[in-house]
Amino acid sequence: MLEILGLSTDESRVYLALLERPNASYDDVAEVTGLAVEEIVATITLLEQDALVIRHASHGRPLRWVAAPPSVGLSARVVEKQRGLVDAQQEIERLDEIYRRGRQGRGAVDAVDVVAGPEAAGHRITQLIRAARDEVMTIIQSAPHPGMDPDLVEERRALERGVRFRAVAERGAMERPGLLAALSGASTGRIDVRVVRHAPCRLVVVDRDTALVPLRRADGATEGALVVHGGGLRDLTLGLFDRMWETAAPLLGGAGDGDASVAGLNGVDLAILRLLNAGLTDQKVASRLGLSSRTVQRRTARLMEAADVETRLQLGVVAARRGWL
């Protein structure tokens, strides 16, 4: 853990050992860490140079060591790291300004980068999500993209940074094992998912500034991607996403519960309602939520009763009007 502050693995182990066992000899530290005495001596020498340990010498007794208080010994390293991060951020801002000036002089052809190969396309998606500051908009097709992490690791990290996610997913994508669970698990109130019957392409847009469109061969396999930095083509991708977002059915996040609590509906009822509204069958809804088909049908009947309607079509209309979707 202390490696983040610049200590080696051995230095971290020895320092922690001295915190737990103050006034310890080389042999004591070796017993705790499992390192050879020769390694202990070399490591403590380095720690002493960094003022992280203090020697206690007394006549007739072996040399003993005490760890410096973390608030003293390690705080200086934290401050040093913070200064380095500030300097790095300032350098990034300077480089960003150079990059923006360079883009202003680029022609329409230069505003598009071609990324060759599915692996490179996946790496570029990861880079874009890591660089996101405000929002990531994505269109998800039924067929999995090679660059999409099923555990959504980078997406989760971006959510922790405060980045908002909006996803339009093909209905078939919700049948992909684990995808809905991953989206639900990643949701922190800043991820909204809507569903459409068909999406014309896979798309990732970061901060409404840079778009990535995967390239597919005739057989559907990904062979690379186009990265669009600006101009009319970037605006076209924004328009496509905005239009699909307006017409897609809400599935996860975004909408409030309206008067659902007043009607006696709980989270499972609302999840069933949204999945049905997205076009999934009773069986697929049951599979996604870990329920039986009969339970889904029973809860759907309860939803229809709460909405005071007789058909599922009427249920969808009333649910939208009451803010349940």
**pLDDT, tens digit, 9 for 90 and up, residues 156-177:** 888 888 899 998 988 888 777 6
Q: Which SS3 state, helix, strand or coil, does residue 139 take?
A: strand
How crowded is residue 130: how many other Cβ atoms within 10 Å of its Cβ? 12
Domains of the chain are 2-73 (1.10.10.10), 106-252 (3.30.870.10), 267-322 (1.10.10.10)
Take residue 288 and report the two structure tokens written for it: 């996604």
Residue 105's pLDDT is 58
Residue 262's pLDDT is 45
Alpha carbons 67 and 65: distance in angstroms, whole number: 7
Instruction: Please provide the average confidence, as pLDDT, over all residues in the chain.
Output: 82
- Give tens-digit pLDDT for 59-83: 667 788 888 888 877 887 888 888 8
Sorting pLDDT into bands at 50, 70 and 90, what band is 149? Answer: low
How crowded is residue 89: how many other Cβ atoms within 10 Å of its Cβ? 10
Alpha carbons 175 and 198: distance in angstroms, whole number: 14
Question: Residues 6 or more apart from 296 whose CB is under 8 A from it?
Answer: 272, 282, 285, 286, 289
Environment class of residue 95 by beta-carbon count within 10 Å: exposed (0-12), middle (13-18) or buried (19+)?
A: exposed
C-alpha to C-alpha distances, 224 to 18, 215, 234, 253, nearest whole angstrom:
53, 5, 18, 31
137 pLDDT above the threshold of 90: yes
Report the amino acid identity of residue 253.
Answer: G
Residue 250's pLDDT is 77
Residue 223's pLDDT is 83
In terms of average pLDDT, the best of 11-25, 172-186, 189-203, 310-324 is: 11-25
Take residue 271 and report the two structure tokens written for it: 């999840």
Question: Residues 6 or more apart from 78 whose CB is under 8 A from it?
Answer: 5
Alpha carbons 313 and 2: distance in angstroms, whole number: 59
What is the side-by-side order of every strand in the sheet holding 222-228? Answer: 112-116, 222-228, 210-216, 203-206, 135-140, 164-170, 191-196, 249-252
Location of structure tokens 């190969």: 117
% of residues, the chain, pLDDT over 90:
15
Alpha carbons 265 and 115: distance in angstroms, whole number: 48
Going 213 to 214 to 217 to 221, the CA torsion angle's sign is negative
User: H-helix or E-strand containing 11?
Assistant: helix 9-20
Sorting pLDDT into bands at 50, 70 and 90, what band is 252? Answer: low
Alpha carbons 43 and 14: distance in angstroms, whole number: 7
CA–CA–CA angle 143, 281, 144 (5° rounding): 10
Q: Are strands 24-25 and 64-67 parallel, antiparallel or unpaired?
A: antiparallel
